[in-house]
Amino acid sequence: MSGSSKTAGIGAGLRSVGAVAAPVAKTHIHSVRNPGVAFDASWLDDIHVNKSAALRRVASLGGRRTVKKAHQAAWLLRAISCMDLTTLKGDDTPARVRRLCAKAKSPVRPDVLQKLGLPPGELSVGAVCVYHAMVETAVEALKGSGIPVAAVSTGFPAGQSPHECKLREIELSVAAGASEIDIVISRANVLTGNWQALYNEVKDFRAACGDAHVKAILATGELGNLTNVAKASVVAMMAGADFIKTSTGMESENATLPVSLVMARMIREFHSRTGARVGFKPAGGISTAKDALSYLVLMKEELGNDWLNPEMFRFGASSLLGDIERQLEHYVTGRYSAANRHPIA
């Protein structure tokens, strides 16, 4: 089948409910906020995770839903629209951040988008995520694009700074133009079962963020077990987190499907009990298009289509985009491209 016949009409097809994965508008408006609820220790007493059952559930994902051809291309485009394109390195420079922002505004080569039936400017990532020192540079580079800037904060990645310093860091990032703040919790509160202290901490962070969205990083690889992950998820949501996020990307174990399943089910339960919708962000170690599809399938099956958009779902990604670009080019040409054919982030 020729490339032209393969892609004929795909622009319309990508917008179908079955494909699920149509790109979204470039202006990302945060209309969904979590007001939080009062701390309820009795809720936590009822949480127990069956690890074996969680592992069996995620092992079944690959066989339950197969995404191929045009639908796969559509889901991969949706994955791009849900990316927090990230650089969090000690050698970050303004030039690197500006280059990342240029990639955020045009994440796929125009010729590939054209073959997919999408007009220029149709697709962008969900946000650009940087350290506080680079927030102003990113805000300036993204001006007029509608793409938000997310700042990692509160002593990222270890979260061992004094509480007052964490709050001040949030305030400075918001003042610099960040509209999303990725905070890290104090893991000790989870490991010692001090849930009230964790609630108070996240609630303080939420207040310091003001109108900026709060994405609470749980650092799940350092929480000991899945039951702790579940309880930390619920406490962060009680305290008003707009998103819960798996990892900083710098732990020895980052995002995994079992952890993500547990967190998604806590989001579902929180929504059922309170009516509040909370977003989810897996981060760290998600580097291939195949990985991205697995997480999208998990979200669709556990939370439904309402969560398959940048307002409710994000990938923390620094290398994922490159592999997705190569898969999309293979779809439209039948050949895998060399990495140097794609502008780097």
pLDDT in tens, 207-235: 999 999 999 999 999 999 999 999 999 99
CA distance 128 to 96: 12
What residue segments make up the domains of the chain, in order of their start?
Answer: 3-26+35-338
Is the pLDDT at 146 greater than 80? The verdict is yes
Residues 223-268 pLDDT 10s: 999 999 999 999 999 999 999 999 999 999 999 999 999 999 999 9
Greater model confidence, 26 or 152: 152
pTM reported for the whole predicted model:
0.91
SS3 content of the chain, % helix, strand, coil (to 5): 50, 10, 40
Strands (E), 13-112: 83-86
Of all residues in the chain, the percent with pLDDT exceeding 90 is 79
The amino acid at 72: Q
Assigned CATH for 3-26+35-338: 3.20.20.70
Q: Which residues are known to be catalytic?
A: 182, 245, 281
Higher-confidence position of 63 and 293:
293
Over residues 120-128, the mean pLDDT reads: 91
What are the residues whose beta carbons fall under 8 Å from the beta carbon of 3, sequence distance 6 or more?
115, 332, 333, 334
The pLDDT value recorded for residue 318 is 84
Residue 17's pLDDT is what? Answer: 33
| Rounded-to-integer distance, Cα 261 and Cα 264, Å | 5
Which residues 6+ apart lie within 8 Å of 315 measured at CB? 79, 82, 83, 84, 281, 282, 283, 286, 292, 295
Q: How confident is the model at residue 8 (pLDDT cuts 50, 70, 90)?
A: very low
pLDDT band at 29 (very low <50, low <70, confident <90, very high): low
**pLDDT for residue 25:** 43
> Helix 195-209 vs helix 226-238: angle between axes, to the nearest 10 degrees?
40
Estimate the crossing angle of helix 51-59 against helix 257-274, to 10 degrees: 110
More confident residue, 345 or 274: 274
d(CA 315, CA 126) in angstroms, rounded, equals 9
